[in-house]
Amino acid sequence: MTDTGNLISRNAVFARDRFRAGLRINPSGNLTVVGCVDPRVDPSHVLGLSLGEAAVIRNVGGRITPATLRTMGMLGKVGQAHQDSRVPGDWNLVILHHTDCGMTDLAAFPEMLAEYFEIAPVELDTKSVSDPFGSVRADVDVVKQDIPGGPGFLVSGLVYDVSSGLVETVVPATPLG
Ligand SMILES: [Zn+2]
What is the domain-level CATH number for residue 85?
3.40.1050.10
| Within-domain flag for 6 | no
The predicted model scores a pTM of 0.96
CA 105 / ligand 1 centre spacing (Å)? 10
- Specify the length of the chain in residues: 177
Q: Is residue 8 part of a domain?
A: no
Cα(124) to centroid(ligand 1), Å: 17
C-alpha of residue 36 to centroid of ligand 1, in Å: 5
For residue 62, the enclosing domain spans 22-175
Asked if the structure places residue 82 within a domain, the reply is yes
pLDDT in tens, the chain (177 residues): 999 999 999 999 999 999 999 999 999 999 999 999 999 999 999 999 999 999 999 999 999 999 999 999 999 999 999 988 888 899 999 999 999 999 999 999 999 999 999 999 999 999 999 999 999 999 999 999 988 766 789 999 999 999 999 999 999 999 987
- Whether 1 maps to a domain, the answer reads no
DSSP code, position 121 = G
Q: CB under 8 Å to 25, separation ≥6 — which residues?
A: 78, 79, 82, 85
For ligand 1, the distance from its centroid to the CA atom of residue 132, given in whole angstroms, is 9
**Number of domains observed in the structure of the chain:** 1
- CA 62–ligand 1 middle distance (angstroms): 7
Instruction: Please check whether residue 3 lies inside any domain of the structure.
Output: no
